[in-house]
Structure 1
Amino acid sequence: MSDELKRGLEGVVVAESGLSHVDGQVGKLVYRGYDIEDLALKAEYEEVLYLLWHGELPTRAELDAFTDELVAEREVDDDLLETVATLAEADERPMAALRTATSMLSAYEPEADADAEDRDAALRKGRRITAKIPTILAAFERARQGEDPVDPDPSLSHAGNFLYMLTGTEPDAVSEETFDMALTIHADHGLNASTFTGMVIGSTMADIYSGVIGGIGALSGPLHGGANQDVMEVLYEIDESEKDPVEWVIDVRESGRRIPGFGHRVYKVKDPRAKLLQAKLRDLSESSGDTKWLDYTTAIEEYLTEEGLVEKGIAPNVDFYSGSVYDHLGIPLDMFTPIFAMSRAGGWIAHVFEYQEDNRLIRPRARYTGATDAEFVPIDER
């Protein structure tokens, strides 16, 4: 067995998957063979969930039944909502609140005692988690604002219902369509850190709640899920400086700062998801009449492209545009990563189920670098 060290598991293939494929050289992302652009523009998030969980796109009848099952699971127990309100009053971080509330969901799971290998029961659990996370997040944000939670609206889509529960107002068509696309393009992305965390947990045959909670924990780290918030903070900083965006970028680059939203561990060209969200940002800007963030991001991308960053493989990633889109939708800055988790939960669940079909406990090794001949000294002689 080779002892070659691969820090961060760089280049290590640990599993086979038919769920999603990222071709970073040409900027292509597919879910089960379908190009992300087709899914983002032509399918609803519920269709994408069905595709990831069941292996094929649903018929109209299958989608209707699947959607009805999701809608039926949206409500959250009052005791859990009280806990969410308590977390908000305690000024808990949104991702930490989501982690705690998702863990508490298992206390109300009607099939908690189902065998770990009962795939149908596990899928129903995954469906409950996916349906309830939006309710939890919306209730948490409203509690922070001193407002009561809004009950789910069964007539609205997964995306539309979240925006409704968050604001208390039914979203317009552009907003709902945009947020639905955002959920779709964030649903899965190969073996990223949070997906791999969920798979490791799933390989022990722990329940799906544990896998999703692990994914939330991994996503909460700033090196994984927080870049869109960083981009938005930069845009705020530019706005407050009253400088031209390009002038601001030149100044901060000369000071040694990096521009968030550029560069990706896999993509060496512009992220296809960034292209989709850039177009939606344009739609939202035209609909609202506020083009500020579109103007800023476009100017920055054009300048950095002219400076040769894209040629060096440092191109805009999905986070460069997602923050601006969420801001237009009225989503608070520190809720951006929880929104990411709300979407990616579907992918985590799919990967856990897929891996468990041919399960092997994930148990890597570490190269030991410690002492080998330390002499033990009794405590009274130390």
Structure 2
Amino acid sequence: MEQTESVQFEQFETKMFKELTQKAIDSSKINPELYSKYQVMRGLRDLEGKGVLVGLTEIGEVHSYIIDEGEKIPVPGRLTYRGIDINDIVDGFIKDERYGFEETSYLLLFGHLPNAEELKDFEQVLTAYQKLPEDFVRGTILKSPGKDIMNMLARSILSLYSYDDNPDDNSIENVLKQCMKLIAWMPLLAVYGYHSCAHYHGNKSLFLHSPLPHLSTAENILHMLRPDSKYTKLEAALLDISLVLHSEHGGGNNSTFVTHVITSTGSDTYSVMAAAIGALKGPKHGGANIKTYNMLEDIKQNVTDWQDEDEIKAYLMKIMNKQAFDRSGLIYGIGHAVYSISDPREVLLKEYAGKLAQEKGLAEEYDLFSRVEKLAPDIVLGHNKSGKVISANVDFYSGFVYKMLGLPLELFTPIFAISRMSGWSAHRIEEIVNNGKIVRPAYKSVAPRREYIPLSGRN
């Protein structure tokens, strides 16, 4: 009897939700012409795609064009952290044969490059903060393994609120301490979350390596991820560069804007960062690297001659015409909301990805991706006829880099989150220090006025 009732309810539920879904869709549609009529800046962008100015920051700047006699002229993309060009930052620690993520985190948080003593003290504090609260791994990460690491990261961060004696104290000293702990904890939360998922949902062996105090963040990620803890210097260096390049991207990107929005309400650090994780997870934001990786894998399988540019073009046209890959009509990793001629992060990542490809014996695959990168912009522009100059973005090579590093697909976006925690932290502190108003943009109601109808009179 109970089983019959269960089947009947499932049938009722299916029918009801089919009807309710259509009602929800119908009641949510807004006439597209109204957006133009009321000059709505959809996505907080103007008609040319330029972001609406809603705040000021000294943390990061994304530059992609100049104005000459009133005309917008695209230029090679430039990214600066606290006014310092990202190329100079990377060149600096590479020439010294050092790892740069810790130095970059210090720069973003405190506004200047640390001297040797300041960097040593900062790294010492991060190392001390690496230990998670007692029983946290067993009770939170292993006891309730999830199937998505980004969701596990958000849940873990929210759970850490309960282990904080002053979680709602928004003084700068306390917020800074919370942020530095999260920067130190993120590699553990992500890697342990993956191992938990792989074990309980993928039937893989479970092993948990503790971070080592003498290793950099990049080295510790590889050490904790791999069963034998082994990695080459080039592998660690490339992961470190990737962490640096993803640390910050101005205040206007979605997840960083979310950080400002939630901070402006007076909420706690853990709620803010969990919300930022949720924003970054989306395939239009941090999750784009997975889409790009899957597309490039599809191209590898369907292009027989990787050196034949005509064959590559033909397949890219199939993707654009919704005849191949996911039939979305999008060539992922090509084009960016801000950059046009070039994405400086992509330029740097491509350079070092080529070196690792040689070490890994993947030079032919790297050359294929380079050809796709060269051919795709013209195909997209020819199809869309927008006239906008476009190029590859950082996602184009990041998935390839992560694959060469042996990172599982499930960790691609969490690695992004590990990096961006530094930038989010700096923006949260900046929002608190400047005591801004609660972020509350306007939405105009376009619903017609109607009278209330008593229940007995409704059809």
Give the TM-score normalised by structure 2.
0.78
Report whether the alignment pairs 1:22 with 2:79.
no
Give the CA deviation at 1:292. Answer: 3.8
C-alpha separation in 2, matches of 1:121 and 1:293:
48
User: 2:219 touches 2:236 (CA, 8 Å); kept in 1?
Assistant: yes
User: 1:87 touches 1:97 (CA, 8 Å); kept in 2?
Assistant: no
Relative to structure 1, is the Cα distance of residues 203 and 343 closer, same or farther in structure 2, using a 3 angstrom cutoff? same
Q: Which residue of structure 2 lines up, in the alignment, with residue 320 of structure 1? A: 396
Report whether the alignment pairs 1:140 with 2:206.
no
C-alpha separation in 1, matches of 2:404 and 2:248:
24
In structure 1, give the amino acid aligned to 2:153: L
Q: Which residue of structure 1 lines up, in the alignment, with residue 16 of structure 2? A: none
Report whether the alignment pairs 1:259 with 2:318.
no
Number of matched pairs:
376
Q: Any unmatched runs of 5+ in structure 2?
A: 1-36, 46-50, 66-74, 94-99, 199-203, 323-328
Give the CA deviation at 1:80. Answer: 2.7
Relative to structure 1, is the Cα distance of residues 309 and 360 closer, same or farther in structure 2, using a 3 angstrom cutoff? same
Report whether the alignment pairs 1:47 with 2:103.
yes
Relative to structure 1, is the Cα distance of residues 107 and 160 closer, same or farther in structure 2, using a 3 angstrom cutoff? same
User: 2:299 touches 2:315 (CA, 8 Å); kept in 1?
Assistant: no
Q: Any unmatched runs of 5+ in structure 1?
A: none
Indicate which of 110, 115, 128 corresponds to 2:181: 128
Give the CA deviation at 1:39. Answer: 1.4
Indicate which of 256, 277, 289 corresponds to 2:361: 289
Relative to structure 1, is the Cα distance of residues 263 and 222 closer, same or farther in structure 2, using a 3 angstrom cutoff? same
Pairs within 5 Å for 1:1-382? 4-10=39-45, 11-25=51-65, 26=75, 27-43=77-93, 44-77=100-133, 79-82=135-138, 83-88=140-145, 90=146, 92-112=147-167, 115-116=169-170, 118-143=171-196, 144=198, 145-168=204-227, 169-190=229-250, 191-241=252-302, 243-245=304-306, 246=309, 247-254=311-318, 255-256=321-322, 257-304=329-376, 309=381, 312-358=388-434, 359-372=436-449, 374-382=450-458
C-alpha separation in 2, matches of 1:217 and 1:37:
29
Give the CA deviation at 1:304. Answer: 3.1
Structure number with bigger Rg: 2
In structure 2, give the amino acid aligned to 1:173: K
Relative to structure 1, is the Cα distance of residues 78 and 170 closer, same or farther in structure 2, using a 3 angstrom cutoff? farther
Give the TM-score normalised by structure 1.
0.93
User: 1:211 touches 1:348 (CA, 8 Å); kept in 2?
Assistant: no
Q: What secondary structure is seen at the aligned counterpart in 1 of 2:444?
A: coil
Give the CA deviation at 1:339. Answer: 0.7
Give the CA deviation at 1:128. Answer: 0.7
In structure 1, give the amino acid aligned to 2:238: T
Relative to structure 1, is the Cα distance of residues 290 and 298 closer, same or farther in structure 2, using a 3 angstrom cutoff? same
Deviation per CA, 1:214-273: give whole Å up to 9, x if none. 110011111111221112112221233352344244224243432210000000111010
C-alpha separation in 2, matches of 1:138 and 1:357:
33
User: 1:293 touches 1:324 (CA, 8 Å); kept in 2?
Assistant: no
